[in-house]
């Protein structure tokens, strides 16, 4: 069998035909991404794609830009948040208004004895206690009541001298010699003055004059009506001049000493009324008043003592007992907003104004007095402006507002 030899020219032509075929088939087998999407969209039944933001569509219209929370060029600093988002967060608004503010100061005080109703029983001569009439701590005594009797050699000698002076006055008081009559009178007055200096009452002196008998012991009486809160007197004990034997306090009127912080002292005035309650009986409310503001400050606690005075007729309040004190101060009518609406960032105080349509504007303000739920506004807001009262939740939820607050450099006229 004869084989025909293939010439080189035939091989070249064959390769050219195969290459041209691949050039024609390659784009149809592996089309580009853009052309594939265009071919798919141009297929019957496929929806037309929406143009990208800012891109013109086939009909010549420009697609709108999506809504964002970027600051508006018309109102610098204003941030727009979709209303649905605000409703989901639970943002609340409230108008700025003038309100009557009342500041409440609460503290704990200690019940103390009224020092003006306190008496200490001492004697001015030495002696021995014979008999005790008030022998227990806490006994209630009345003014002039006998406390104890005392024997003193000096007291006995003074009684004898006084009786001699009384007899001398009777004998020599009508003497024809003026010097003698005057001398007997001066001697009687000197003996009587010694009794007075020793706190011997007038009725005992009169009794001594009438009976003419020297008493071995003399009674010592209570100087005030009150309760015995300290007792050192014992039957048969020897006592020296100036030794404190009894301490008697009138507890029908007491003090409460309370600590008030330095920043609250300006609100406390003399004669202000205060409500006093006890921890074991909160239902009982007593009324006191500010009696004195002490002039010194404790450097460690930064507090000053304030004395509250109140009646204690049933003696429910006892010395060294703790009591709760509440002082309400009327501050008058002032421009105020809820404290929860204020965001404190260092020395800055920021609130968010609501302009409607989800537009919020951060505003720097200057605050004044703070009460329980209100904060006074000194600068930055006007009456009638609407503010966000749940701004803290808004800041936590919308981090985009944080950058707006941090970018605020300040307000004209505010520091």
- Token reading at 229: 């809160």
pLDDT tier at 3 (50, 70, 90 boundaries)? very low
Say which DSSP state 173 is in.
T
Q: Are 370 and 344 in contact (CB under 8 A)?
A: no
CATH number corresponding to 116-249: 2.40.50.100
Q: Please name the fold of domain 108-113+252-332.
A: Elongation Factor Tu (Ef-tu); domain 3 (2.40.30)
Closest-CA residue to 401 (of 356, 349, 362, 345): 362
pLDDT of residue 57: 44
Give the start-to-end residue ranges of the domains of the chain: 79-99+334-406, 108-113+252-332, 116-249
Give the range with max mean pLDDT: 83-87, 316-320, 405-409: 316-320
CA angle 276, 281, 285 (to 5 degrees): 30
pLDDT of residue 202: 82
pLDDT mean over 305-314: 94
- Token reading at 346: 């260092």
pLDDT at 23 > cutoff 70: no
Residue 118 β-bridge partners: 249
Q: Measured between alpha carbons, how far is 231 from 210 in angstroms, rounded to an integer?
A: 34
Say which DSSP state 399 is in.
T
Q: Please name the fold of domain 79-99+334-406.
A: 2.40.420
Cβ count within 10 A of residue 44 = 4
pLDDT mean over 18-44: 54
Q: Measured between alpha carbons, how far is 288 from 274 in angstroms, rounded to an integer?
A: 5
Q: Is 29 helix (H, G, I), strand (E, B) or coil?
A: helix
pLDDT at 137 > cutoff 70: yes
Q: What angle do helix axes 153-172 and 202-211 make, rounded to 10 degrees?
A: 60
What's the predicted TM-score (pTM) here? 0.65
Q: What are the CA-CA distances from residue 379 to residues 104, 267, 352, 413 (Å)?
A: 24, 22, 14, 9
Q: Measured between alpha carbons, how far is 325 from 317 in angstroms, rounded to an integer?
A: 13
pLDDT at 406 > cutoff 70: no
pLDDT of residue 83: 81
Q: Measured between alpha carbons, how far is 263 from 367 in angstroms, rounded to an integer?
A: 15
Residue 353 β-bridge partners: 361, 387
Instruction: Render pLDDT for 264-282 as a digit per residue (tens, 0 to 9).
Output: 999 999 999 999 999 888 8
Q: Are 225 and 117 in contact (CB under 8 A)?
A: no
Q: Measured between alpha carbons, how far is 32 from 144 in angstroms, rounded to an integer?
A: 121
DSSP string, 78-120: -EE--HHHHHHHT--EEE-EEEEEEEEEEEEEEEEE-GGGEEE
Q: Provide, rounded to the nearest whole percent, the portion of the chain with pLDDT above 70.
A: 73
Residue 310 CB burial class (10 angstroms; 0-12, 13-18, ≥19): buried
Q: Are 195 and 175 in contact (CB under 8 A)?
A: no
Mean pLDDT of the chain: 79
Instruction: Render pLDDT for 71-129 as a digit per residue (tens, 0 to 9).
Output: 444 555 677 778 887 777 778 888 999 999 999 999 999 999 999 999 999 998 999 99
Domains 108-113+252-332 and 116-249 share a fold: no
Q: Measured between alpha carbons, how far is 50 from 340 in angstroms, rounded to an integer?
A: 45
Instruction: Render pLDDT for 143-201 as a digit per residue (tens, 0 to 9).
Output: 999 999 999 998 888 888 888 888 777 766 565 656 656 767 777 788 888 888 888 88
pLDDT of residue 395: 57
pLDDT mean over 20-30: 60
User: Between these two residues, 214 and 88, which has the higher pLDDT value?
Assistant: 214
pLDDT tier at 41 (50, 70, 90 boundaries)? very low
């Amino acid at each position: 069998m004869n084989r025909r030899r293939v010439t080189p020219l035939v091989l070249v032509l064959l390769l050219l035909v195969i290459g041209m075929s691949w050039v024609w088939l390659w784009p149809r087998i592996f089309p580009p991404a853009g052309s594939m999407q265009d071919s798919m969209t141009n297929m019957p039944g496929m929806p037309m794609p929406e143009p990208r933001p800012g891109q013109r569509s086939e009909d010549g219209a420009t697609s709108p830009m999506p809504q964002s929370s970027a600051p508006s060029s018309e109102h610098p600093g204003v941030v727009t948040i979709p209303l649905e988002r605000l409703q989901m967060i639970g943002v609340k608004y409230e108008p700025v208004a003038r309100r009557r503010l009342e500041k409440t100061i609460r503290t704990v005080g200690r019940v103390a004895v009224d020092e003006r109703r306190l008496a200490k029983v001492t004697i001015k001569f030495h002696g021995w206690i014979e008999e005790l009439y008030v022998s227990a701590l806490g006994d209630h005594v009345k003014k002039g009541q006998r406390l104890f009797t005392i024997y003193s050699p000096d007291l006995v000698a003074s009684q004898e001298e006084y009786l001699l002076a009384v007899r001398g006055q009777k004998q020599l008081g009508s003497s024809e010699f003026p010097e003698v009559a005057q001398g007997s009178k001066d001697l009687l007055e000197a003996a009587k003055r010694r009794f007075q200096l020793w706190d011997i009452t007038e009725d005992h002196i009169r009794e001594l004059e009438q009976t003419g008998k020297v008493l071995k012991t003399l009674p010592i009486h209570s100087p005030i009506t009150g309760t015995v809160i300290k007792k050192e007197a014992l039957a048969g004990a020897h006592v020296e001049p100036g030794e404190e034997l009894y301490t008697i306090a009138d507890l029908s009127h007491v003090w409460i000493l309370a600590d008030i912080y330095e920043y609250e002292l300006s609100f406390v005035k003399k004669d202000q009324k205060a409500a006093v309650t006890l921890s074991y009986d909160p239902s009982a409310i007593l009324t006191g008043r500010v009696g004195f503001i002490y002039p010194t400050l404790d450097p460690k606690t930064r507090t000053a003592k304030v004395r509250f005075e109140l009646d204690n007729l049933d003696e429910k309040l006892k010395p060294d007992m703790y009591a709760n004190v509440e002082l309400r101060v009327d501050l008058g009518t002032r421009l105020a907003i809820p404290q929860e609406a204020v965001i404190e960032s260092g020395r800055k105080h920021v609130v968010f104004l609501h302009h409607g349509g989800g537009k919020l504007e951060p505003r720097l303000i200057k605050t004044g007095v703070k009460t329980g739920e209100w904060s006074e506004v000194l600068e930055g807001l006007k009456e009638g402006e609407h503010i966000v009262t749940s701004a803290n939740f808004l800041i936590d939820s919308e981090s985009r507002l944080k950058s707006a607050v941090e970018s605020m450099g300040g307000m004209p006229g505010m520091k």
